[in-house]
Structure 1
Amino acid sequence: MSRNSTDRTQTKRPLPDWAEPGAYQVAPGVHRIPLPLPSDALVAVNVYVLESDDGLVLIDGGWAITAARDCLEESLRAIGHHPRDIMTFLVTHSHRDHYTQAVALRREFRRARIVLGVGERASLSLVARGKPPRGTQARQLREAGADDLALAWSDRETGARDDLMEWELPDEWLEGRRQIVVGNRTLDAIPTPGHTRGHFVFADHAAGILFAGDHVLPTITPSIGYEGVPAQLPLGDYLHSLADVRALPDLELLPAHGGVGHRSHARIDELIHHHDSRLALCLRVVRASGTTAREVAAQISWTRHDLHLDELGKMDSGLAVLETMAHLDVLAARGAIGRSTIDGVHHYALPPAGPALPM
């Protein structure tokens, strides 16, 4: 289960090495700058600075908080730049830890352009109408048979309304695979739906590096479909996207969270194995007794510490149930199990009941 979105804590922990502030060269003309997150379990998000004669291009922007703004300016100053030198943000997806500081800096300097995958349009438009995305996840939790968690997430949504002004639409929508020229380098922009519908990764084949956003992370599995308007089968999309990136040459992984030094092929193989194992585990549980996603999630372990669902916080418990439902829906789409809906709650059982869901 991903910890991309987890319960906040006031406990301050030592920063992992990869999250220490600074500007770290990862390739000629490319620096990694970790920016702090506000009491988030992930601690920091990596933004990547690409230098060119026309100004700076940043892969992702960070979370729009004062600490991240100050850290970015100080880190850029260390390599002879300033935030006003940023000409373009290539944002991998619209989660706030990647997107909102790009919006804030565009307002501040009135020059930086924001480029984002077109699959994010529906969710961003929802937020622009004053509807925080957690309302969608609360509805999904009710469909999963987790009314208590849905209520907890609805309460969190109420507290999220004050920051809706952080969200604006980008200047350009990315649609389909294309090449983007940044100075003397060419980026291969590849749509990778799954984590969100509009997620993109950017491959610099000449330099042998992959700006992977949250699509491929070195030590955790990304959450799937955590957005205001999720896809019908986000895990199916994610597995297809993993296969698309696995078909590329083996590249050095430059993730949004975590350190560098990992290879894309090896990590993608681990992620595919993880999801294959979870699919098999969910299938065994359903074969033993037809049940809801909440009930399946309670019968399997979570995190590397093999925790029970009840040992997780409310946010992580919700993510666990949603991830379980995503796996069950893939099994239903493959015809391995059936899914029926009773009083708004999805139930999974053998033998398959009704037509398979579309992949």
Structure 2
Amino acid sequence: MEITGTTQREAWLARLTPPVEQVREDLWSVPVPMPDNPLRYVTSYVFALAGGGLGLVDTGWDSDDAWTSLQAGLAAIGGDVADVRGVLVTHMHGDHNGLSARVRDASGAWVAMHPADAAIVRGMSETDVEQFIRDQTAFMVSLGADEETAASDAPTPERLAGLRKQAVPDRLLEDGELADFPGWSLRALHTPGHTPGHLCFAEERTGLFLSGDHVLPRISPNISAGQRLEEDPLRDYLTSLASVGDRDEPVEVLPAHEWRFRGLGLRTRELTGHHEHRLTELLDAIRAHPRSTPWELAGYLTWSRPWEQYANAMRMFAVTETDAHLRLLASRGLVVGSGGPVPTWTVAVR
């Protein structure tokens, strides 16, 4: 895999925010900071549109600092938020859709998203925050957490307030459709896994590939199970990776985090190998610790830091990612859940 965003990577290693960069003629990357997050920033891509105006792919986290950075980034290329005609959102997470409402209010731009994520955003805008916290706490208890720990790990009302303010899209974009960016040929590709409605965009005129969070150059995106037991997000993700990896090799990959690179096919194979290794590690943990809950099994796995340092949202995502791997093992017939309010897991007898 070849690193093409060398300035981005150098800034990353120096723990700095990279500069605004011109990626191609009429296309720029604008880093937008993320508060209290190890990913540090999300990259918004800015397209100059035929006939005038700008199009954005992702907008950044909804904070005053992020808003100021996005405005400054647009000013650096000679533009303004008022010039934005449309916003493509790769997926519904707050670091990608958070500023879309402010952009729309300031410019009148449309906001587009896949229908699956649009439904989640619409539901969040209408949800009762206290009930959501109770439901999230109950879900973590069903994965093996005790009541007190589950309550402490649940998102706070303040954090959820920001999610409720996210822009509900006014346009829906299905797999295979072309985005309304005049002068460009951005083909939407539905790549579920990280979220149910994640979209990548293949720019057919230039050969660029905007990968959102689906394929990142250094880390594996979080793949978490949700409260609907019929969901199998890791299976969705691996299927999406295969479909992306089988495409003609793009000229360059433009991810939402870290840095640009070449070698999409190789990176998809690396990510698939990572998850298969993870599945094997989890299966070994179940053999060594039969009748364990997802919460307990997460503590037996290898993470980027000692398990004892995990807490709150980081721990919650680790446990729900473990549950996603359990669901795929179960669908492959390799493990069996006990059923009941807090299922435990054993290796299937074959």
Q: Identify the TM-score tier after normalising by the shorter chain.
A: 0.7 to 0.9
Answering whether residue 300 of structure 2 is matched by residue 299 of structure 1, we say yes
8 Å contact from structure 1 (residues 141, 318) kept in 2 = yes
Name the counterpart of 2:5: none
Name the counterpart of 2:309: 311
The amino acid of 1:204's aligned partner reads: E
Q: What are the superposed Cα offsets for residues 32-66 of structure 1, whole Å, 9 maximum, x if unpaired?
A: 10001122221110000111223211111111211
Q: 1:197 to 1:149 in 2, by over 3 A?
A: farther
Aligned residues: 334
The amino acid of 2:126's aligned partner reads: R
SS state at 2:344 partner: strand
8 Å contact from structure 1 (residues 149, 317) kept in 2 = no
The amino acid of 2:25's aligned partner reads: P
Percent of aligned pairs sharing the same letter: 31
RMSD (Å) for aligned C-alpha atoms: 2.4
Q: Distance in 2 between matches of 1:84 and 1:178?
A: 26
Q: What are the superposed Cα offsets for residues 227-280 of structure 1, whole Å, 9 maximum, x if unpaired?
A: 787971111111111111111112222111101124211211111110000001
Task: Kindly report which structure 2 residues correspond to 1:170-209, keeping only aligned pairs within 5 A, or say none.
Answer: 170-209=169-208
Give the superposition deviation at 1:80.
Answer: 1.4
Name the counterpart of 1:340: 338
Name the counterpart of 1:3: none
Query: Which one of 324, 327, 332 corresponds to residue 326 of structure 1?
Result: 324
Range with bigger deviation, 265-274 or 118-127: 118-127
Q: Distance in 2 between matches of 1:234 and 1:286?
A: 20
TM-score between both structures, scaled by the size of structure 2: 0.88
8 Å contact from structure 2 (residues 173, 179) kept in 1 = no
Q: 1:57 to 1:196 in 2, by over 3 A?
A: same
8 Å contact from structure 1 (residues 135, 153) kept in 2 = no
SS state at 2:271 partner: helix
SS state at 1:26 partner: strand
Q: What are the superposed Cα offsets for residues 276-335 of structure 1, whole Å, 9 maximum, x if unpaired?
A: 0000111111123322111211112101xxx33222233222211111111011000111
Answering whether residue 27 of structure 2 is matched by residue 30 of structure 1, we say yes
Structure 2: which 5+ runs fail to align?
1-10
Q: Distance in 1 between matches of 2:77 and 2:14?
A: 20
Task: Kindly report which structure 2 residues correspond to 1:175-324, keeping only aligned pairs within 5 A, or say none.
Answer: 175-225=174-224, 232-251=231-250, 252-290=252-290, 291-303=292-304, 307-324=305-322
Q: 1:127 to 1:210 in 2, by over 3 A?
A: same
SS state at 1:178 partner: coil
The amino acid of 1:241's aligned partner reads: S
Q: Distance in 1 between matches of 2:336 and 2:86?
A: 47
The amino acid of 1:183's aligned partner reads: P
Query: Which one of 26, 44, 48 corresponds to residue 45 of structure 2?
Result: 48
8 Å contact from structure 2 (residues 97, 167) kept in 1 = no
TM-score between both structures, scaled by the size of structure 1: 0.86
The amino acid of 2:44's aligned partner reads: V
Query: Which one of 100, 121, 125 corresponds to residue 122 of structure 2?
Result: 125
Q: 1:231 to 1:22 in 2, by over 3 A?
A: farther
The amino acid of 1:77's aligned partner reads: A
Structure 1: which 5+ runs fail to align?
1-13, 354-359
Range with bigger deviation, 283-292 or 81-90: 283-292
Q: 1:206 to 1:136 in 2, by over 3 A?
A: farther
8 Å contact from structure 1 (residues 134, 227) kept in 2 = no
